[in-house]
Amino acid sequence: MNGGTGGAAVGLAVHAEARWPPPDDPGAPLPPVPRFEASAFAPLLVTVADRCLTARYGAPPVPPEAGRRIALVLAAARGDVVTQTAIDDAVAGHRPVPKELLFQNVPSTALGHVAVVWGLTGPLLATLCVGPADRAVFATAGRLVAAGDADLVLAVAADPTGDPADPGTAVARLLGPRPIPSRSL
C-alpha cells in the first residue's frame, strides 16, 4: 500500500495504521487531550498517532533504541482553523489572547506531545500541503528514510475542518522499509 510515488522510491511499507474516525465506530467521540481544549485539531492528530503506535508497540514509550530512529511527519491541507479564529476574534476585539491558544495554534505542538509520551526523538516536520496529504507524508517519509535520517516515520495525514463539532479525518501510518532495520525493533 502506498499513498504516493515519493515513498515508492525507497520501498516504504506500512507497519501500522490508525484512522479517525475509526472505521468500526464512525460516530465515536474524539478523546480529549490535556492542554488542548480549544479545538479538536490536536486531539485528532494525537489520537491517530497514539492508536498507530499502540498497534505496533503496545503501551508507551517505544524502546529507546527505536525512538531515536522514528521521525514524525504531519501534512494537512489546513491548520487549526478553530483556534486561529479564536485568536483572530480576540485580536479584533482588542482582548488579550489566551496563552493556551498560542500554544495550541502551532501544529507541531501536538506532534511534540506524541514525541514526549512515546519517547520519539527523530526528526519532526509539520507542513501545510497543496494536494493530497497522503502524498505529502509518503514523499516526506521516503526522503527521510532514503537520507538515513530515520528508520521509521510516523506519518500523519490530516484533513481537519473549521467546525468545532467536527474534527475532520486523519490517518496515521508507521512507514519504513520492509524489513525494518534490526536497530529499530
Number of other CB atoms surrounding residue 166 within 10 Å:
12
Instruction: Check residue 32 and give its pLDDT.
Output: 87
Average pLDDT over residues 173-183: 76
Q: Within a domain: residue 111? A: yes
Cα 145 from chain centroid (whole Å): 17
pLDDT in tens, 100-113: 776 666 677 889 99
pLDDT in tens, 4-19: 444 444 579 999 999 9
Q: Within a domain: residue 129? A: yes
Maximal C-alpha separation, the chain: 56
pLDDT in tens, 116-170: 999 999 999 988 888 889 899 999 999 999 999 999 999 999 988 877 778 889 9
Instruction: Check residue 6 and give its pLDDT.
Output: 43
Model pTM greater than 0.75?
A: yes
Q: Within a domain: residue 160? A: yes
Q: Within a domain: residue 41? A: yes
Instruction: Give me the domain span that covers residue 118.
Output: 5-23+37-184
Q: Which helix (H) or strand (E) holds 29?
A: none
Q: Within a domain: residue 49? A: yes
User: What's the number of domains the chain is made of?
Assistant: 1
Grid coordinates representing 150 are: 530515520
Residue spans of beta strands (DSSP E) within the chain? 12-20, 70-76, 124-128, 152-160, 168-177
Number of other CB atoms surrounding residue 152 within 10 Å:
27
Q: Within a domain: residue 30? A: no
